[in-house]
Structure 1
Amino acid sequence: MEILIGCVGIGLLLYGAVYGIETKISRADRRVARVERKVDLILDHLGIQEHDPWLDEVAQLARSDKKIQAIKRYRELTGEGLKEAKEAVDRLV
């Protein structure tokens, strides 16, 4: 019985540690996304366009009515989430 209680206790500690780490990563991801959005707004306001060679491929897909493939390719190339990729592709069209 004591071993079972000890195992349950260790399990709860591990769960708490993993949950805490995931929460910190999630917060960091949100902060980075917020900063990226702000930088994008600044660049748009200044009329500066970022040019990456791979962006041409994504833009070509988007302009060829292959928006879903463009979003998918953008996510593959950047590691961005679905929402960010969709917003980026929408800006390209």
Structure 2
Amino acid sequence: MDFGYVVAIVIAVVGFSLVVASNRAQRTGQKAARLAAIERKLDAVMAHLGIEEPSPAEDAQVLAHLMRGEKIQAIKVYRERTGAGLAEAKDAVERLARDRGLG
């Protein structure tokens, strides 16, 4: 094979990869925008019906772990329920424990 062919094939593969990656990013952005619109509509419906979302920190399982002194387990459950990061979950659980006089 000639060196020119190899270079042309490499350029074609890289170009194709860029096109695929661009399309994937565009679809991801569209999905994020659609999800945000759905969340806004759901919030509006909940507000109209007077429904309040319970605080994830008020979850019975989080409180049960705190009452048993299992702070790490409480943080783990909080993270699973909310998708929060470690620092955010730790702060929320510690705040709940302090407010409830559990720690």
**2:47 corresponding residue in structure 1:** 44
**1:71 corresponding residue in structure 2:** none
Note the alpha carbon deviations across 1:19-51, whole angstroms, 9 max, x for none: 111111110111011000100011011111011
The share of aligned pairs that are identical, in percent, is 22
Q: TM-score, normalised by structure 2?
A: 0.51
Which of 14, 28, 31 is the equivalent residue of 1:28?
A: 31
**Equivalent-residue separation in structure 1 for 2:47 and 2:83 (angstroms):** 24
Structure (1 or 2) with the larger CA radius of gyration? 2
1:17 is displaced (CA, Å) by 0.5
Moved segments of 4+, more than 6 Å: none
Q: TM-score, normalised by structure 1?
A: 0.56
1:2 is displaced (CA, Å) by 1.3
**Equivalent-residue separation in structure 2 for 1:55 and 1:18 (angstroms):** 42
Q: May I ask how many residue pairs the two structures share in their alignment?
A: 60
Unaligned runs of 5+ in 2: 60-81, 86-103
Unaligned runs of 5+ in 1: 57-74, 79-93
Q: Note the aligned Cα RMSD (angstroms).
A: 2.3
